[in-house]
Structures are given as C-alpha cells and as structure tokens.
Amino acid sequence: MRLPDILSTHDPLLASELTQAIDNKTKPLGSLGALETLAKQIGLIQQTTRVALHKPAILVFAADHGVVAEGISAYPQSVTWQMVENFLSKGAAINVFARQNGCALQIIDAGVNHDFGKRAALMDCKVGRGTANFAQQPAMSWAECAAALAHGMRIVGNLEGNVIGFGEMGIGNTTAAAALMHKLTGSPVADCVGAGTGLSPEGVLHKQNVIEAAVALHGEMSEPLDILATFGGFEIAMIAGAMLKAAERRMVLLIDGFIVSSALLVAARLQPAILDYCVFSHCSDEAGHARMLGHFQAKPLLNLGLRLGEGTGCALALPLLHAAVNFLGEMATFQSARVSGQSA
C-alpha cells in the first residue's frame, strides 16, 4: 500500500511576505496573538497570502473495540451504535456545533458491531464488527489495518473543501489511544490513561493494568503500523489514513482530542511533515492529552475542559480559523487607511 507523500510547508520567502502582510494591518504588532500565527500557518499551507476557507467538513468515524471485554469502560459496547443513531438523527453535540458553524458533517461506520442497513446519511466503510481484544491478540490483522487506512485516504480524496476536522465515536477507544500513546511516545502507561467515559479511580487503575499486560504480551515493536494494528481501532486507523491524504492535498487539518491525536501520533511517525498542516483545536480534559500535545509541541486554540470527542473541539475552533483568514484578507492596512483618510 502506497502512503501519501507529504511536503513541508517551509517557505522562507512566503513566510516573510505573510509576516509583512500581518504586521501591516491597522493594529499594534502581535496584538491579534494566536490568530496571527494561525493566519500565517494557513497561508503557508495554501501557498498564498490570499488565504480562503472552502467547504469545511468534519468526518466522524465510529467503531467498536474488543478490549471492552476486559471491563475498561463505564458504558457497554452498545452505546457506540446508539450514538451513531443519535448522529444520524442530528441530536448529538457535534450535530449542533457543526450546524451552527456552517460545517458539513459526515458520519462513517468504520467498524461498529451493529447492522445499520442502508442509510443515506451513513457512509459504510465497515472493516469488521469491531476489533479483536488486544489484551489477548492483535486488534487488527495487517489486511484489516491496511483496509482502514485506505478507506480514510479514499474518503478524503473525494472531498471538495480545504479544511477538514476529525471526530470519533467508539466505546473503549480511550484505552486503544492510551496504548498507542505509550508505545509511540514512550510515556509510562500511568501517564496515558484517564477516566474515559467516567471510570472511577479503581477503574482507571484497572485500565492501566490491562494495557500494561497487553504491552507485555505483544512484546517489543517499533514500526508505527505494527503498533497501530496491534493496539488501535478501525476508526483510529481510518483517521490516520484520512489525515495523511488531507495533508498531501494541502488541506488544513483540525485536530480534536485524545483519540484523534493518537491517530496523529501514527501519521506523524509515518510522515513527520504532516504536523505543518495541523491546527490543534483544543486541549481535552482526558488525562494524557496535555502530554500528547506537549509531544507535538502544539499550542491548542481552546481549553474548555472538553472530553466528549465526536469532533466537537474542531467545530468550536472553526470560527477562529475564519477570524484568522478574514482579518488577513479584509482588515485595512496602514497604507490603505491613509489613502482612505486622504480621500475623505
């Protein structure tokens, strides 16, 4: 399977032009803070000082995880398909936030343990009815992992816009994400696990023990796709593939919380330049996400104590992208303001 090749956005000449354009706006230098950094990043991604956002979309990938059999979640696996039904009924938080911010929303069945039948609003990319229990065997075969990556790349390859956010739904996926974080960053498992859907301290400790035992069972491995296939989920693998394709297409990647960031850990190990295209929407309240952001040396746009997933952080951060693009494109410069004043 050929993975996308991603070019760095590094361009000293364009960076200088963008800085000059930003500094020449009618404001004190640096007074728009993170919006100035964001405008420059978008300009480097789009290779122009005339930046624009076009048809932003959020993709929500749903799948189940066999490791729930180990009692690592406060909710039963059936909640995954019930939440997908909620997405399809337009009743979830991500539906509300995407709608209020004019963002297209696509729900993808990456591997839910449920038969939805043919549904116009649901993209069927089911690789299997949930992964295997990685506490006993690899979560995915290589063929399943490759299929999930390919689905993600194909989905993004068909999008028309230039901004994409990533969301997920899957009971048990914070356990998979914590295992990926441990293996890909070297952080102790205790620093990677959190309450997920609402575990007690005893439940968090049990989750930690399950992951540590699984890591010992599978032995040493260093290749990112081996780690993904062993501990990941169908939705996480699909997100990783989608991210790689999106960066190849020079789209702006809006990164949500803990699980989506674990997919980025995989993608960045495969293609480090992908980080040039990533806007980190928020810092999740899920334990481990702040450390993961530190690993990326990322400064998130928002810190609202969110830990819902679904791509909600992406939808809430989208207005800030519009603000960055609009001030760069529409705000007066000192030269234009002087000309206007003279003509008046």
61 phi/psi in degrees, rounded to 5 = -100, 130
Q: How many CB atoms lie within 10 A of CB 89?
A: 10
Cα diameter, the chain: 77
- How far is residue 192's CA from residue 186's CA, in Å, rounded to a whole number? 10
Query: Please, which residues have CB within 8 angstroms of residue 215's CB and are 6 or more apart in sequence?
Result: 179, 182, 183, 189
The pair of three-digit structure tokens given for residue 147, joined into one six-digit string:
């299929």
CB half-sphere exposure, 13, CA atoms < 13 A: 2
Q: Give the dihedral of Cα atoms 265, 256, 160, 268; nearest 10 deg.
A: -10
- How far is residue 159's CA from residue 105's CA, in Å, rounded to a whole number? 12
From the candidates 17, 144, 310, 330, give the one annotated as an active-site residue.
310
The pair of three-digit structure tokens given for residue 191, joined into one six-digit string:
């620093």
Q: Contact, 148 vs 43, CB < 8 A?
A: no
Query: Please, which residues have CB within 8 angstroms of residue 237's CB and are 6 or more apart in sequence?
Result: 110, 140, 145, 148, 149, 152, 228, 229, 263, 266
158-168: b or e for each residue (b if 16 or more CB lie within 10 Å)? ebeebbbbbbb
Catalytic residue flag (residue 168): no
- Catalytic site positions: 310
